Amino acid sequence: MSRVAVVGGGLAGFVAYLTLRHGGVEDVVVFDPAGVDPAAAWRRRAESIRQRRMRSESDGHCLPTSFPGLAVRAALRRRDPRPLFASVCDRYHPSVVEFLEHVEESRIGSGWNDAVVPARINRVRAVAAGFELDPAGTFQHVLLATGHPGLNMPLGDDPRAVHAYEPHEYADDVVVVGAGMAAATEWLNALAAGARVTSVRRREPVRRPLNAPRPLFTRRGLEGFHATRPAARELVLSRILEPSYPPGRAWDEPLQRAGARFRVAAELNGAEQVICATGFKHGFRHNPLLAQLVDEHELETHGSWIGLAPDCTVPALTDDERTLALAGVAAQWAYPAADTLVGAKYAARGLLRRVMSCPTR
């Protein structure tokens, strides 16, 4: 029996597996009922919105170490130093194709397929020896990388409506609900397809390169974040949830050229199609596994977030001999940008330190 279990075989679970193996931890098992493709869910969403470039930068990859990043990989393959220069200025954004090729190469070369067990974990319960995962057994160290709890579909009863992350084409007259990265991408897609586009939004989007303010990716920024009181931390996280997309001509000029074919409105109109670019459901209560874990063990929570230590572990259930940690969006209390690849590495490195410091049972 392996002593380390990762629940969830998406990108966050994949990053954790690669990090643990790189750190010398051999006995790792990954549970996911969807199969062995760690990019499957992400790929479907990217294909649905016709995404071509990553919002992340050079270090937005799955490898355990930050360097070399995807800019180095691109420069070597193309024999062109320009990706390196762009990376120095935080302006290198790999293509989706490059990123998926990187994931596939890492999957094939890492032994990932042999580590994945196609099973769904229904319950996590703390026991003396670690954590009992129903129906898989007991493990000393567990990382829950359960991903987003489902699409947020506010207009599910409207026959015109489709979620942006589901496959779709574009009608001649389109309403896009939302104002974040997916919405901005859909504005450009629909305009390129010749449609008239109405952006329905409750607030103006924030223009920032990454999905969280850049200081929160730094050690100093995180130290300040971890020092905040719970109410202030909730406010920071709530602001990160506000819609945002990057600044720049690539986003602005197509809207300007569209003229009257693009407009902003506060309410739905009679358009043929409504695309809900409204992201995902938010909060641990939308994930049955996490909700049950919180209720059964009376864990600390703050609004929609589970209270975590700075290293993404659950304080009440982690000690000198066992570890329970979260990764992905559920770990935002510890790392605001937890649903990024950089955030996945942050959680994975914290788990690795715990595993290496705990005695083997």
* DSSP one-letter string for 273-297: EEEE---B--SGGGSHHHHHHHHHH
- Quick: pLDDT tens for 88-119: 666 777 889 999 999 999 999 999 999 999 99
At 326, the amino acid letter reads: L
Kindly state the average pLDDT of the residues 264-286.
Answer: 96
Which class is 161-205+243-276 in CATH? alpha beta
Kindly state the average pLDDT of the residues 74-94.
Answer: 73
The pLDDT score that the predictor gives to residue 361 is 59
| 80 confidence band (pLDDT: 50, 70, 90) | confident
The pLDDT score that the predictor gives to residue 69 is 73
Three-state secondary-structure class, residue 301: strand
Kindly state the average pLDDT of the residues 151-178.
Answer: 96
What percent of the chain stands above pLDDT 90? 83
What percent of the chain stands above pLDDT 70? 97
34: Cα separation from own chain's centroid:
17
* Whole-prediction pTM: 0.93
Q: Between the CA of residue 320 and those of 29, 133, 258, 329, 359, what are the distances in Å? A: 21, 20, 60, 26, 8
The pLDDT score that the predictor gives to residue 54 is 87
Q: Is the pLDDT of residue 1 over 60?
A: no
At 140, the amino acid letter reads: Q
> Is-same-fold flag (4-150+281-357; 161-205+243-276)?
yes
| 148 confidence band (pLDDT: 50, 70, 90) | very high
Helix axes 249-258, 181-192, angle to 10 degrees: 50
Kindly state the average pLDDT of the residues 300-327.
Answer: 97
Q: Is the pLDDT of residue 326 over 70?
A: yes
The pLDDT score that the predictor gives to residue 52 is 93
| 2 confidence band (pLDDT: 50, 70, 90) | confident
- Quick: pLDDT tens for 216-233: 999 999 999 999 999 999
Q: What are the sequence ranges of the domains in the chain?
A: 4-150+281-357, 161-205+243-276
| 60 confidence band (pLDDT: 50, 70, 90) | confident
Report whether CATH 1.20.120.1760 matches the domain 4-150+281-357: no
| 82 confidence band (pLDDT: 50, 70, 90) | confident
